[in-house]
Amino acid sequence: MTAISLSDLLASALSLPKEDRASVAKKLIESLDDEDDLVSEEEAEAAWAVELERRARQVEEDLNAGRPVGRTWEEVRAELFKQSKRP
């Protein structure tokens, strides 16, 4: 088998049609998953159901009261402005 450099492989992959790039990306991501770390779809759905129920309870009990989005954005902008002025 002929060795191919990573940059050549990447260039070739990026030249593929969108659907093929998506397929390659999916297979690469799947190859990173450790089978011992994987949970079944049913387990994942059950875990999300528990989490959604917990979040809904927090909202109903006002334990995690929200705040106006406008105020949040003002604070984010102020922090970004402050950070942009740092040397």
pLDDT tens digits for 41-77?
Answer: 888 899 999 999 998 888 788 765 677 888 889 999 9
Question: What pLDDT is stored for residue 1 in this prediction?
Answer: 61
Contact 24, 16 (CB under 8 A): yes
The chain-wide mean pLDDT, for the chain, equals: 86
User: Do residue 30 and residue 48 come from a single domain?
Assistant: no
Task: Give CA–CA dist 70/80, Å, rounded.
Answer: 15
- Residues 87, 48, single domain; the answer is yes
Residues 15 and 47 in one domain: no
Question: 45 and 83 share a domain?
Answer: yes
Q: Are both 28 and 45 inside the same structural domain?
A: no
Exposure string of 56-87, with b = 16+ CB inside 10 Å and e = fewer, is eeeeeeeeeeeeeeeeeeeeeeeeeeeeeeee
Domain check: are 47 and 28 in the same one?
A: no
The amino acid at 66: G
Q: How many domains does the chain have?
A: 2
